[in-house]
Structure 1
Amino acid sequence: MFPIGDDNTGRTLTPYINYLLIALNIFVFVYYQALGTNQYMIASLSTVPAEILSGHDIAGNGLAPTPIPVYATILSSMFMHGSIAHILGNMLYLSIFGDNLENVMGHARYLAFYLICGMLASLSHVFMSALLNDGLYVPSLGASGAISGVLGGYIILFPRNRIRILLIAFTFRVPAIITLGIWILMQVVSQYNSLHAQAEAGVAYAAHIGGFVAGMLLVKSFVRKTVPAV
């Protein structure tokens, strides 16, 4: 089940911030990360749980010196991606769901919402790593946490919006509450399986869940006007 679009009939605001976020992510990935081949950047500017917990830069064991305060990597890591598939998937979700939130929040509020959700998502990953004492020295990166916040906000504000999904060779229109409900359920199941070493390594499911929950809890405080009935 792959989302390819949603209902934008009620959109009145051009989503400049959403366009900017997509462009910035792509620019960083292409220009600075050299399409994901710049491993030094990943090793130096990603979020490393052990660094956040200690407040100190850690070099060695695959990690490079961090040229900025370690806490700032919570922000820098949000604009980096590990592969072409990683960034394409993230930007697809952001392009589909982000504009609706920007429409009801306004540009500045939407940007603040996006960044806050992303930071809370990263901290969720750090907390889970500390709780499990696992992956403390593994760099994490990507816009997935912030986008998960967008998805959490979307399911609260637009639960009945029809999402166009691609399933094998067919397209269907499914309410957002079902589409995104299945998505977050998959994240929870994947996080549970990862505790038993059954899930694919390298995916920060705790960040996805933390971002989604943050988006659900915060979204209404960022809305600048009444959301039209859908």
Structure 2
Amino acid sequence: MASESIGLLLILLSFIGVAYLFLHMFMAIKQRGLIVWIAFLNVVIFAYMAIANPFLISKYALSYAKIASGHGYTLLSYMFVHANLLHITLNTFGLLFFGYNMEKEFGSAPTLMVYLVSGIIAGATFIMTSTPASMVVGASGAIFGLMAYLTLTRPFKITPMPFFIPMPVALATVLYAILVVPVFLSGNLSSFGNVAQSAHLGGLIGGSLMAFAMNYAQALKGLVIVLITAIIVLALPAILV
């Protein structure tokens, strides 16, 4: 009975989370800020490649082998290329949500800087932890950078991403790290379930570094809140037992 109630609660929270996400997407599109144009560019590039030449994806994807052979531009270009419809859809959701909130709080220029730097660090993390031929595409590393920046500067901001259940962004980041870091450390460094988790972690690192570089005092307070949240989450199973 208790498990059924929990299941129903999670379903209800998911519906609320999706509604909250779409509300923010609507507000982002209505505002027509920089982040909306980046999302639009991503969609246009995806549509063009899907229709004109799907093999262009591999040309602009990032890998260690491509960097070693002099294709340094892929450290930037990979962020604007997506593998399939689900990939571009989920990244557009995340970009419009985190990007809209970031741009509203801190402005367009800081948002773009955090986005690009986090994406580059995410890509660098991927190529350092994957085989030379492994390739990565997508904006998710850059988006996780925006998420990390908001985590440290606005830790109580409610987010439905990445679990589609509304919760403080500090809690969402802690839960994601708890789920992914063990996979990362287990030796499956580059990907898990066809998702480049090392790039996501690199994005979180990049966004965190940018938060301390651009907003040190708030980032330090946010880090304390994140650490307290992590301690509570990790201790909760033992307390409940």
TM tier, shorter chain? 0.7 to 0.9
Checking the alignment, whether the CA contact within 8 Å between 1:50 and 1:136 is kept in structure 2 is: yes
Checking the alignment, whether the CA contact within 8 Å between 2:78 and 2:138 is kept in structure 1 is: yes
Query: Which residue is equivalent to 1:90?
Result: 91
Q: Distance in 2 between matches of 1:196 and 1:48?
A: 14
Give 1:112 shift: 1.6
Query: Which residue is equivalent to 2:223?
Result: none
One-letter code aligned to 1:188: V
Q: Distance in 2 between matches of 1:47 and 1:194?
A: 21
- Are 1:163 and 2:159 counterparts? yes
Query: Which residue is equivalent to 2:148?
Result: 152
CA RMSD of aligned residues (A): 3.3
Give 1:49 shift: 1.2
- Are 1:139 and 2:127 counterparts? no
Structure 1 pair 157/25, CA: closer, same or farther in 2 (3 Å)? Answer: same
Q: Distance in 2 between matches of 1:145 and 1:197?
A: 13
Query: Which residue is equivalent to 1:44?
Result: 59
Q: Distance in 1 between matches of 2:34 and 2:190?
A: 38
Q: Which has the higher contact order (CA 8 A, sep 6+)?
A: 1
Give 1:19 shift: 0.5
Query: Which residue is equivalent to 2:45?
Result: 28
Q: Distance in 1 between matches of 2:113 and 2:77?
A: 15
Q: How many residue pairs align between the two structures?
A: 199
CA offsets, 1:158-212, max 9 Å, x none? 2112234798xxx864222112221233232332355299942x32211100110
Matches within 5 A, 1:188-227: 188-193=181-186, 195=188, 199-200=192-193, 202-222=194-214
Structure 1 pair 166/90, CA: closer, same or farther in 2 (3 Å)? Answer: closer
- TM value normalised by structure 2: 0.71
Checking the alignment, whether the CA contact within 8 Å between 1:32 and 1:38 is kept in structure 2 is: yes
Structure 1 pair 89/194, CA: closer, same or farther in 2 (3 Å)? Answer: farther
Q: Percent identity?
A: 24
Structure 1 pair 173/205, CA: closer, same or farther in 2 (3 Å)? Answer: closer
Checking the alignment, whether the CA contact within 8 Å between 1:115 and 1:146 is kept in structure 2 is: yes
Give 1:113 shift: 1.4
Q: Distance in 1 between matches of 2:49 and 2:86?
A: 17
Unmatched segments (≥5 aa) in structure 1: 58-69, 130-134
Give 1:40 shift: 1.6
Structure 2 residue matching 1:75: 3-state secondary structure: helix
Structure 1 pair 33/50, CA: closer, same or farther in 2 (3 Å)? Answer: same
Q: Distance in 2 between matches of 1:186 and 1:74?
A: 27
One-letter code aligned to 2:55: Y
Q: Distance in 1 between matches of 2:191 and 2:55?
A: 29
Checking the alignment, whether the CA contact within 8 Å between 2:162 and 2:172 is kept in structure 1 is: no
CA offsets, 1:99-155, max 9 Å, x none? 1211232112211211111011100111112xxxxx311221100110110111111
Q: Distance in 2 between matches of 1:25 and 1:162?
A: 26
Unmatched segments (≥5 aa) in structure 2: 1-9, 220-241
Structure 1 pair 188/172, CA: closer, same or farther in 2 (3 Å)? Answer: closer
Structure 1 pair 25/222, CA: closer, same or farther in 2 (3 Å)? Answer: farther
Higher helix share: 2
Checking the alignment, whether the CA contact within 8 Å between 1:15 and 1:103 is kept in structure 2 is: no
